[in-house]
């Protein structure tokens, strides 16, 4: 009798231990972190997209809508479509830039996404994106992960109505990228990576506090900015624009346009608070 009770107690103890460890262990997320819904500083993930849809499927309409070039057709050097942003079926969003010739007329087409129409906007937090740039070849393309405020507010100089916060911009097709802030004037910080074109995925992140913006590339801080910090709600944008920005090159140059189509792969976007 005593032996049976002891055996039962041991069995119950083992079951409790198994339940404890199984409850404590969180399933790994796709990407860098495996801490479940917490980032490496203990913040809770409040919004994310892991882009896990079937191959060819459109972005989640609850989270994203297609950027329309502010209603301009074309906008800058491209026509924005709903055909050039889609899932690859392997956990990535693909945004494509391409050339289309119809009746001897050349148009450049692309897609971009924003959370403006879906009303997914945020104030303060940690914003992170994992992507791959090595597939981009043509100069005249400009990819970015950024936060924007409604209407003309980003440029009115009023921090309470928001600013433009460019967490990541990339156009030179070399190892250089930059972060930037625009509020009526501008500040930016170029950063030379050693590996952005190595064929792998990399992360950029912004820690947005009440009086400070901290920018990261692959977990390394490259800019700390304390002037003109937004105190208004802002939405997320993922854009592949076609424009000769910063003198990086024009897509109309034959050597550049011949490299199209080009593709930007995004693994995830996550917001923590």
Domains and CATH numbers, the chain: 35-272 (2.60.120.200)
Task: Tell me the three state secondary structure of residue 254.
Answer: helix
Averaged pLDDT of the chain: 87
> Looking at the predicted structure, is the pLDDT value of residue 7 above 90?
no
* Whole-Å CA distances, 237 to 8, 17, 19, 41, 104: 58, 45, 41, 24, 33
> Looking at the predicted structure, is the pLDDT value of residue 25 above 70?
no
CA distance 188 to 178: 7
> Looking at the predicted structure, is the pLDDT value of residue 4 above 80?
no
pLDDT digits (tens, 9 = 90+) for 196-245: 999 999 999 999 999 999 999 999 999 999 999 999 999 999 999 999 88
Task: Tell me the three state secondary structure of residue 98.
Answer: strand
Which pLDDT does position 40 carry in this prediction? 66
Task: Tell me the percentage of the chain whose pLDDT exceeds 90.
Answer: 79
Determine the average pLDDT of the residues in 93-119. 96
> Looking at the predicted structure, is the pLDDT value of residue 135 above 90?
yes
Contact (Cβ atoms closer than 8 angstroms) between residue 109 and residue 100: yes
CA distance 26 to 260: 42
> Looking at the predicted structure, is the pLDDT value of residue 143 above 70?
yes
More confident of the two residues 148 and 151: 148
Determine the average pLDDT of the residues in 146-163. 90
């Amino acid at each position: 009798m005593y032996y049976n009770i002891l055996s039962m107690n041991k069995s119950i103890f083992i079951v409790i231990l198994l339940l404890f460890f199984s409850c404590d262990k969180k399933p790994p997320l796709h990407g860098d972190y495996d801490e479940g819904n917490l980032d490496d500083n203990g913040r809770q993930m409040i919004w994310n997209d892991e882009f896990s849809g079937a191959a060819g499927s459109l972005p989640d309409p609850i989270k994203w809508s297609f950027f329309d070039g502010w209603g301009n057709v074309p906008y800058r050097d491209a026509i924005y479509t709903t055909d050039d942003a889609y899932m690859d079926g392997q956990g990535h969003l693909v945004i494509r830039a391409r050339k289309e010739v119809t009746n001897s007329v050349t148009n450049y087409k692309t897609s971009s996404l924003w959370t403006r129409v879906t009303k997914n906007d945020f104030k303060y937090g940690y914003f992170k994106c994992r992507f791959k740039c090595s597939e981009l070849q043509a100069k005249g393309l400009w990819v970015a992960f950024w936060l924007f405020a409604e209407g003309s507010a980003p440029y009115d100089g009023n921090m309470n109505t928001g600013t433009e916060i460019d967490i990541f911009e990339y156009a030179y097709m070399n190892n250089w990228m930059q972060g930037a802030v625009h509020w009526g004037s501008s500040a930016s910080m170029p950063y030379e990576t050693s590996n952005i074109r190595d064929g792998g995925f990399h992360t950029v992140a912004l820690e947005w506090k009440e009086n400070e913006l901290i920018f990261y590339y692959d977990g390394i801080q490259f800019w700390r900015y304390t002037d003109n910090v937004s105190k208004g709600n802002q939405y997320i944008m993922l854009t592949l624009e076609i424009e000769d920005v910063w003198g990086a090159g024009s897509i109309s140059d034959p050597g550049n346009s011949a490299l199209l189509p080009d593709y930007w792969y995004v693994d995830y976007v996550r917001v923590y608070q």
